[in-house]
Structure 1
Amino acid sequence: MTDTDLDSLLDRMTLEEQVSLLSGEDIWSLPAIPRLNIGKLRVTDGPNGARGSGSLVGGVTAAAFPVGIAIGATWDPELAREIGAAIAEEVKSKGAHVSLAPTVNIHRSVTNGRNFECYSEDPELAAQLTAGYVTGLQSGGVAATVKHFAGNESEIERTTINSEIPERALREIYLRPFEAAVKEAGTWAVMSSYNKLNGTYTAENYWLLTEVLRDDWGFDGVVMSDWFGSRTTAPTVNAGLDLEMPGPTRDRGPQLIAAVEAGEVSRETIRERARNILRLMARTGALHDDRPFEERANDRPDDRALIRRAGAEGTVLLKNEGVLPLAEAPGTVAVIGPNAKVAQIMGGGSAQLNPHYRVSPWDGLVERLGADVLTYAKGCDNHRWEPLIEGGLTIDYFDSTDWTGPAVHSETMEQSVAFLAPPYGGGKVDPRAFTARVTGSFTAEADGPHRFGLHAAGYGRLYVDGALVVDAEEGAWAKGRTFFEEGNDEVTGTVDLAAGQTVQVTVEVRPKTPDNLDVTAFRFGVSRPLGDADIAEAVRIAGEAETAILFVGRSGEWDTEGSDLDGIELPGRQAELVEAVLAANPNAVIVLQTGGPVEMPWIGRARAVLQAWYPGQEAGNAIVDVLFGDAEPGGRLPQTFPVRVQDNPTWSQDPEVYPGLDGKVRYEEGVFIGQRHYDRHGITPLFPFGHGLSYTSFALSDLSAEASDEGSATARLTVTNTGDRAGSTVVQLYVGDPDASVPRPVRELKGFAKVRLDAGASAAVEIALPPRAFAFYDVTTGAWMVEEGRFTLEAGLSATDLPLRTELELGGRTLPR
């Protein structure tokens, strides 16, 4: 649809109709305008799939793809494009037109709870993967919504924090993936973040949304708020925020019409915002989409194969002293750890979905080897919250504030967790003045104390056989880091149970006034805490087995939206378990599943370590493919792993730097983030950015570089597979400006290439370097500057493994923004 067509449609619309398009009708859609045959635009959460219109729990099943950091570890923009294209089909299967993805914020710290959802600490790697994913998604006619724009690199007080970021750091680091999404991939939508940026909420930040996004970069799509992230009427509209989500509107509708009539917002501004919405609807086919709304669960074989391949491509072989790949017949195998029989396939928060299925490492090993050769011991726990009660649960809603009167609506629950969404209680209760009671049972499998836990965005109490065990009611409830910072931290209580004993569990909940996000939710569970005997059992089977594989790490309870980590140690007694198992079987393989770095005090004793992240629904199969060498461990680290949390770029004695103080977080490190920080301070990381081993070996040679008259350059080198099997590696090219007039990193990643070669084969690799590869952002002139002089080019296989070096002489020039 041309601008002329859009103008014609806008001319036929009343002011009220134009304004109606600038806010959601409900959580997931915009209102239709039947008079003009304008359809309903629908959106769905991403980025590792398409959940559809259901809540964060349950709903229509969907394909679960690898999370962002796992895609980042592939270093493969073409694979990101394939994933984006496949997810476009998933979005359409959920009746939606827009995917709220990808998440492209930078890994500033090692403790950000949402690092799992983002690609990298490095702006260039993140930019190229972003462009690939967005291109793939939009090739299927589905809009990408690149988020969160900008400065949302922590989950602490994220809805109100003021991110103070110098403009040079913004331009060179934090805005770079967004710029690539606009300029290189032509993204159709951008989502503003919750936080303030340099003193102004991003949803009403004219400099960010208009001067940078539209004027500098030429963006012509829709800017939407994060959910409940719009706080004002005229300021957001005038700044460039097209769409307030979700609906029903809080800030627009009649208020916006009144603002127009009062002269606070011009009619031309309303027209431009509505034009952007109509353009998005035309691009996605929503403008005249009158098909009945339908959500389907399409479990496609092609998706299964892609997810399994992508999982292996993102798996990083951190260390290998001749242990991997495992022999085709490995003998008896001890399978150990809290992540062995649980498929850790995704992180937590709005990225989670109801997968078609989950393949655990145990499942994958049984499929390959048969159960007869396997033994299992959990060893210890790693959960953050008590495990859910599964099945046999009923929730009753009461149209009262004290659980009195008959239940007006009842539902069954598959698990003891719920995000309650309107219409509450089947539309029979007031969202702010109702109560609910959940009843179910739990049967103990062993004697001993059992710990019950409850947390809620709301108030609640948990009873066991009628006795109060957990009190999270008003007065006892305290704001914590659950349910997007609207919930309390888990409160627990202990009950002694005998094996086989069944108890009645009752939880009573009621809503509370939200602080920022209008969420009512609860979660409760129970477990028997593990102890020394459980670690001893793991040690026993490890010592008796010919092969031991230990599956440890975190889960979406730890790596989640709404909550940063306290540190990067393995939760619970997992480090102790690793040490004990390695003492019993020194050849034990350690498989990590986390959404970011972890400390490894045991690394000197481990001979084989794999980092598998959260690779989607085929997790167990992808991991087993790599363990046995059916697939290459194709991943390279997209984030530096420090020896200890104190080594990471945001560690400071000043809490304003991180986690923030008095509503402000100061990005004091500027452009020295990620590997640039470790280079600058001479800190040796545990594993450097870009690190990853192969099952073969590679040599690089013959680096040369040639500059053009236009200021670009081309680097060339040769890669040879010097091993005895086919494999892949990632050639990385770093640029340095040793004579710069401003502080610049020792080296910056400016190009890379994933190379696959047969044994003994060689390939010529060419990496193009545009003028921006040599530039810094000059805040005094507001332009990108290349200074005349000498530049270094280093090539290698990680940020600390750079055997090749050459130099270029370039003339100075000013580049456009």
Structure 2
Amino acid sequence: MTTWTRLALGLLLPQIVLSSPVPEAIPEPVKLEQRDDASEGYNSPAYYPTPHGGWVSDWAEAYEKAYQVVSNMTLAEKVNLTTGTGFFMGPCVGQTGSAPRFGIPNICLQDSPLGIRNSDHNTAFPPGITTGATFNKELMYARGVAIGEEARGKGVNVQLGPSVGALGRKPRGGRNWEGFGADPVLQAIGGAQTIKGMQSTGAIAALKHFIGNEQEMYRMSSIITQGYSSNIDDRTLHELYLWPFAEGVRAGVGSVMTAYNSVNSSACSQNSKLLNGVLKEELGFQGFVMTDWLGHYGGVASALAGLDMCMPGDGAVPLFGDSYWGPELSRSILNGSVPVSRLNDMVTRIVATWYKLGQDKDYPLPNFSTNTQDEKGPYYPGALFSPSGVVNQFVNVQSDHNITARAVAREAVTLLKNEQGILPLRRNDSLKVFGSDAGGNPDGLNSCNDQGCDKGVLTMGWGSGTARLPYLITPQEAIANISKTAQFYITDSFPKDVTATSKDIAVVFINADSGENYITVEGNPGDRTKAGLNAWHNGDDLVKAAAEKFSNVVVVVHTVGPILMEEWIDLKSVKAVVVAHLPGQEAGNSLTDVLFGDYSPSGHLPYSIPRSESDYPESVGIIDDQPFGQIQDTFTEGLYIDYRHFLKANVTPRYPFGHGLSYTTFKLSNPTISEVTAIDSAYPPTRPTKGSTPVYNNSIPAASEVAWSSTSFTRIWRYLYPYLDNPESISASDEYPYPDGYNTTQPESRAGGGEGGNPALFKTASTVQVTVTNNGARRGKAVPQLYVELPSSLGLDTPSLQLRQFEKTKELAPGQSETVTLEITRKDLSVWDVEVQDWKAPVNGEGVKLWIGQSVGDLPIVCVVGEKCSFQ
């Protein structure tokens, strides 16, 4: 999602206009350096036409309701619902046109994945990376419910989240923190639980960014360059990057947002293989596909490729009053370049989703403005002249969501090191607290647009994935509420006049920030290009200075992702390290809940922390040296990112994926494995037959349905309407040059058959039960994690360990036990067969090993499928 800030800074340049309907490539920029050739072996084959929605039984009722409406709509009404009204042409960051005859209002779309952006009286929840670090499915769901309730309360129809792309392939990637971690299963579970929670309230979730958006720089196309091409082989796409999207679709997500970049040299918003073939056919997606803001690069091309809604509706240059769709989509229907059947499916998907989530039943209209914090203002700020009135009603939607926000932030707190039991702190400990990250923004709360600065405690990254803080409990405030003797030095330069005794404990706060590319913070254009993986504001020096002066140092880290610690982690004085991730508005309270021992830490790392950035493969570095042409970013590391890579390269990270200590200790015992559904064939059973889809009259409608002369309302300048002057002059051609590969016979994917794929993939194959006992002296929660090791008999190079399941226990008292059940599906034991185009598993699970422990580096239990479990 992008903002007006990009325009104001002059960073958003006009998008490329496609002169051809062919969606498989963006034309090279005129009179500029020719783009690089696509990488050999990476291409995006054509897949046409778009599969129609409505064949999944769970959506049948919603599609029937949609059919009754869409079959009676005019061309103008249909086009209205597919096209945004334009930048700043309504209260939300984006809104479609409406169909008032049928009670369908302008559909309001609003950021962000962590709460309502650019609003008031809302909660600023911890972002995805923090939520992932909880490894707590119940909290993931509860946070989703709370976000959905706030969206509904503000009148937001589509809340733009969760984010599961970027996956975190590049550790410096600017928006990794919006997702749940650098593992497809952790991302998948976090995304699916969030979707279920959000949509339980009636708000439509938008799963994003589909797909391969793994760095911020050069993601967008303009008149002088093209967004980079993420070149991904088919197996890597399925086993890593597509996995969380498949689970999101299986969770019933209502909408999917495309990424700005290309995949295999075809722009995501008009990539027919990805949208038609993978998302709508193989994964059985029943909702609607939208662009990211100004990620719409062509009209006919994108419609044929499977796009259903363009946001915010504008064409090459925002606020010029033109669009690739809107009146141009009306023209394309009348001249036959876009089949009426495609438009009918586009609109039906949108309306069916609206019905599926019950938004026809007393769903509120927007009561806020994303454009101003004033009570009154113009209704259409993008227009030169606009009617005005009350635009902000200041509806308080926070309820008791601060409790959930605090719980998420608290359960994410990850203890990496704790020597001599220095933590938890005692209330009468002599504390001296250092670092600006312990305090507030000296310029005031929310003084930086979209959190685009690193001042004070880091509660979230920057960009459209943020929300205004309704309040902020800083660590300084929370510590002061508990410790009456703590002294605070809210500075990143170690004071020369500080005295230290043997009883003093120095608590040093450091951070590392990143965000979206339209804002540059301290030389970092979204991605951490300048800062690298080091702490910001000379944080390493601050820790070392404290360690030289004090004999007891506790380091608290707020960070968007992996951060290097080698300069100080082994210093004798550094007794404890706590990663608090990005905590949101309850930053201080959630931290002191753990620091002072009211709760034991129970967070686990959602990524690995390396010893050196050179420990990663070169291919996951940020590309920052080619501003013209199309950058070819080839994923040569394939399946080997994060811990998968470290295991293959025999590199021991400083702290492995899944690592997290507690104030107590846990024992795993009594592991057992049980077969539930036999895997009696290498490939799943034949996919179910598709249900029926709506059947419309697909004749080209009368031109009068989009004629300006038939309207009787006052036009708003720059507002995007579906109408045309003199549409009667447009005639259809019987020989329109559709793209190569276009046909009218829909090929079905053998891997499809339901939401997320063939339902047989998601049947439980085996369960593992393990008893978790708190054998320490304090209360705490454990997170048993299950990793699969697939056999070499599959004949493919496969990561040695892959996370497939986890559960978090309840809070266990000393001596208390809980038996945890970890379910493994057929898909969990499968690899993607690129030749057969289906998921292949070892017959009867032969040779599969399931490893259980408390991190990828601590797996004491192995269960052999079909046999038994043992300790290693």
Measured against the shorter chain, the TM-score band is 0.7 to 0.9
C-alpha distance in 2 between matches for 1:659 and 1:719:
53
Contact map agreement 1:109 1:648 (CA 8 A) in 2: no
1:465-523, Cα deviation, whole Å (9 max, x unpaired): xxxxxxxxxxxxxxxxxxxxxxxxxxxxxxxxxxxxxxxxxxxxxxxxxxxxxxxxxxx
Give the aligned partner of residue 50 of structure 2.
none
Report whether the alignment pairs 1:795 with 2:829: no
Report whether the alignment pairs 1:177 with 2:177: no
Give the aligned partner of residue 484 of structure 1.
none
1:768-797, Cα deviation, whole Å (9 max, x unpaired): 111112110010110100134311121111
Give the aligned partner of residue 715 of structure 2.
none
Give the aligned partner of residue 142 of structure 1.
203
Give the aligned partner of residue 115 of structure 2.
49
Give the aligned partner of residue 703 of structure 1.
671
C-alpha distance in 2 between matches for 1:71 and 1:285:
28
Percent of pairs identical after alignment?
33
Q: Which runs of structure 2 are paired with 1:574-653 in the superposition (5 Å)?
A: 574-600=539-565, 601-605=567-571, 606-650=574-618
Give the aligned partner of residue 462 of structure 1.
none
Contact map agreement 2:216 2:517 (CA 8 A) in 1: no
Give the aligned partner of residue 841 of structure 2.
786
Deviation at 1:806, TM superposition (A): 2.8
Q: 1:289 to 1:329 in 2, by over 3 A?
A: closer
Match 1:752 to one of 766, 784, 806: 806
- Which amino acid is 1:624 matched to? T
Deviates more, 1:194-203 or 1:241-250: 241-250
Deviation at 1:243, TM superposition (A): 0.3
Match 1:307 to one of 395, 405, 412: 405
Match 1:258 to one of 331, 353, 370: 331
C-alpha distance in 1 between matches for 2:568 and 2:102:
66
Match 2:655 to one of 660, 679, 687: 687
Give the aligned partner of residue 779 of structure 2.
726
Report whether the alignment pairs 1:535 with 2:494: yes
Secondary structure in 2 matching 1:64: coil
Secondary structure in 1 matching 2:555: strand
Report whether the alignment pairs 1:124 with 2:185: yes
Deviates more, 1:568-577 or 1:126-135: 568-577
Report whether the alignment pairs 1:565 with 2:528: yes
Q: Which runs of structure 2 are paired with 1:226-265 in the superposition (5 Å)?
A: 226-248=292-314, 250-265=323-338
Q: 1:21 to 1:564 in 2, by over 3 A?
A: same
Report whether the alignment pairs 1:775 with 2:775: no
C-alpha distance in 2 between matches for 1:15 and 1:707:
55
Give the aligned partner of residue 144 of structure 2.
84
Give the aligned partner of residue 461 of structure 2.
347
Give the aligned partner of residue 376 of structure 1.
488
C-alpha distance in 2 between matches for 1:92 and 1:48:
14
1:610-631, Cα deviation, whole Å (9 max, x unpaired): 0001111000111111100112
TM-score w.r.t. the length of structure 1 is: 0.76
- Which amino acid is 1:766 matched to? T
Contact map agreement 1:703 1:795 (CA 8 A) in 2: no
Report whether the alignment pairs 1:270 with 2:228: no
Secondary structure in 2 matching 1:593: strand
Give the aligned partner of residue 192 of structure 1.
258
Deviation at 1:661, TM superposition (A): 9.1
Give the aligned partner of residue 669 of structure 1.
637
C-alpha distance in 2 between matches for 1:290 and 1:784:
41
- Which amino acid is 1:134 matched to? I
Deviation at 1:589, TM superposition (A): 0.8
C-alpha distance in 1 between matches for 2:517 and 2:549:
30
Deviation at 1:88, TM superposition (A): 0.9
Secondary structure in 2 matching 1:540: coil
Contact map agreement 1:559 1:565 (CA 8 A) in 2: no
Contact map agreement 1:719 1:765 (CA 8 A) in 2: yes
- Which amino acid is 2:504 matched to? E
C-alpha distance in 2 between matches for 1:674 and 1:657:
24
C-alpha distance in 2 between matches for 1:9 and 1:153:
40
C-alpha distance in 2 between matches for 1:197 and 1:283:
31
Give the aligned partner of residue 736 of structure 1.
789
Q: 1:19 to 1:303 in 2, by over 3 A?
A: same
C-alpha distance in 2 between matches for 1:243 and 1:752:
36
Count, aligned residues = 647
Give the aligned partner of residue 97 of structure 1.
157
C-alpha distance in 1 between matches for 2:517 and 2:773:
38
C-alpha distance in 2 between matches for 1:290 and 1:704:
48
Contact map agreement 2:473 2:585 (CA 8 A) in 1: yes
Give the aligned partner of residue 128 of structure 2.
68
Q: 1:560 to 1:619 in 2, by over 3 A?
A: farther
Give the aligned partner of residue 385 of structure 1.
none
C-alpha distance in 2 between matches for 1:85 and 1:350:
21
C-alpha distance in 2 between matches for 1:292 and 1:211:
35
C-alpha distance in 1 between matches for 2:127 and 2:608:
18
Deviation at 1:15, TM superposition (A): 1.2
TM-score w.r.t. the length of structure 2 is: 0.71
Deviation at 1:7, TM superposition (A): 2.0
Deviation at 1:603, TM superposition (A): 0.3
C-alpha distance in 2 between matches for 1:708 and 1:624:
44
- Which amino acid is 1:22 matched to? T
1:673-697, Cα deviation, whole Å (9 max, x unpaired): 2211000000000100000001100
Q: 1:542 to 1:13 in 2, by over 3 A?
A: farther
Deviation at 1:116, TM superposition (A): 1.0
Q: Pick the structure with more strand per residue.
A: 1
Q: Which runs of structure 2 are paired with 1:226-625 in the superposition (5 Å)?
A: 226-248=292-314, 250-287=323-360, 293-295=366-368, 296-298=394-396, 300=398, 302-341=400-439, 342-370=456-484, 373-380=485-492, 534-537=493-496, 540-541=498-499, 546-555=504-513, 563-566=526-529, 567-600=532-565, 601-605=567-571, 606-625=574-593
C-alpha distance in 2 between matches for 1:182 and 1:652:
28
Deviates more, 1:10-19 or 1:309-318: 10-19
C-alpha distance in 1 between matches for 2:862 and 2:790:
13
Contact map agreement 2:149 2:397 (CA 8 A) in 1: no
Deviation at 1:701, TM superposition (A): 2.3
Secondary structure in 2 matching 1:346: coil
1:133-171, Cα deviation, whole Å (9 max, x unpaired): 100000000011000001111112112110001110110
C-alpha distance in 2 between matches for 1:290 and 1:188:
16
- Which amino acid is 1:617 matched to? Q
Secondary structure in 2 matching 1:21: helix
Deviation at 1:548, TM superposition (A): 1.7
Deviation at 1:44, TM superposition (A): 1.1
C-alpha distance in 2 between matches for 1:150 and 1:292:
31
Deviation at 1:653, TM superposition (A): 9.2
C-alpha distance in 1 between matches for 2:791 and 2:628:
33
Deviation at 1:287, TM superposition (A): 4.6
Secondary structure in 2 matching 1:317: strand
1:522-541, Cα deviation, whole Å (9 max, x unpaired): xxxxxxxxxxxx4233x725
1:353-406, Cα deviation, whole Å (9 max, x unpaired): 211101111011122224xx22222342xxxxxxxxxxxxxxxxxxxxxxxxxx
Contact map agreement 1:67 1:614 (CA 8 A) in 2: yes
- In the alignment, structure 1 segments of 5+ residues that lack a partner are 381-533, 811-817
Secondary structure in 1 matching 2:438: coil
- Which amino acid is 1:377 matched to? Y
Give the aligned partner of residue 38 of structure 1.
104
Deviation at 1:546, TM superposition (A): 2.1
Q: Report the RMSD for the aligned CA atoms in angstroms.
A: 2.4
C-alpha distance in 1 between matches for 2:804 and 2:249:
19
Report whether the alignment pairs 1:168 with 2:241: no
Secondary structure in 1 matching 2:527: coil
Contact map agreement 1:39 1:286 (CA 8 A) in 2: no
Q: 1:302 to 1:636 in 2, by over 3 A?
A: same
Higher relative contact order (CA 8 A, sep 6+): 2
C-alpha distance in 2 between matches for 1:710 and 1:80:
31
